[in-house]
């Protein structure tokens, strides 16, 4: 089946890693469906990608931290009427602060966005993958999924949970030919780091994460990269 006959679904595709992923897959002729909470960001992305790669990108405004938003996005994806070959659960939020001092509701916000969005979307998309006996799910976990760090707070809790979810579905889907990869990345230069007095060279590039995901997908169906740990060359920030 040619790339153009299958669909790549990337959540949070207008900035940072998500945008780099949209660009990378579009450059190979893949139709992409993505979402964001900001309509103008989606319009800008659609214009930029279609002009650069002359390929189709489907955009939808949705807040995936809400179950209803996931449901609406799923309906949009299903209307495209192409089998989903790749699902990248990229949507996330990071609010720093110690667990014992962070604002009330911080855990709920990060669990809703970083865990439940991936949980509900995957459960909706994966039945067709199982039926087709083909597909690859990438979950954007974090080095915070492996080890808590100062001021990480509930972000680390949510990313530990996402990594657990990723491992669970890997076990459930292996016999159906659906691959699952956890991306455990350190600091990447994305808009969430704007205003921080750290040189860009100290961070990883979003394009490096996108290339890692693309390359992981390109392996033969006989192999799967279960976990990828990436850090800035000089170590964590």
The catalytic site residues sit at 155
d(CA 222, CA 212): 18
Residues whose CB is less than 8 angstroms from the CB of residue 89 and which lie 6 or more positions away in sequence, other chains included = 11, 117, 118, 121, 122, 137, 138, 139, 140, 162
Q: How far is CA 30 from CA 22, 33, 95, in A?
A: 9, 10, 33
> Concatenated DSSP letters for 118-140?
HHHHHHHHHHHHHHHT-EEEEEE
Q: How far is CA 86 from CA 23, 25, 54, 58, 116, in A?
A: 15, 10, 20, 15, 19
d(CA 10, CA 47): 17
d(CA 221, CA 135): 10
d(CA 136, CA 83): 12
Indicate the SS3 state at residue 156.
Answer: helix
């Amino acid at each position: 089946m040619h790339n153009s006959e299958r669909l790549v679904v990337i959540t949070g595709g207008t900035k940072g890693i998500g945008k780099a992923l949209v660009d990378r897959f579009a450059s190979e002729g893949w139709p992409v469906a993505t979402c964001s909470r900001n309509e103008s960001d989606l319009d800008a992305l659609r214009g930029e990608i279609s002009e650069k790669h002359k390929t189709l990108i489907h955009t939808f405004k949705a807040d995936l931290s809400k179950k209803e938003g996931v449901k609406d996005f799923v309906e949009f994806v299903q209307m495209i009427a192409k089998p989903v070959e790749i699902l990248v659960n990229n949507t996330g939020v990071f609010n720093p602060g110690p667990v014992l001092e962070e604002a009330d509701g911080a855990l709920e916000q990060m669990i809703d966005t970083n865990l439940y969005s991936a949980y509900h979307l995957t459960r909706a998309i994966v039945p067709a993958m199982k039926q087709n006996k083909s597909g690859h799910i990438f979950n954007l976990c974090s080095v915070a999924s492996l080890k808590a760090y100062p001021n990480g707070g509930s972000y680390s809790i949510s990313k530990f949970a996402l990594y657990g979810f990723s491992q669970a579905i890997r076990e459930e889907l292996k016999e159906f030919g659906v691959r699952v990869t956890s991306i455990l990345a350190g600091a990447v230069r994305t808009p969430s780091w704007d205003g921080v007095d750290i040189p860009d060279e100290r961070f990883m590039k979003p394009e490096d994460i996108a290339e890692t995901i693309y390359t992981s997908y390109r392996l033969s169906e006989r192999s799967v990269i279960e976990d990828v740990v990436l850090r800035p060359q000089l170590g964590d920030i």
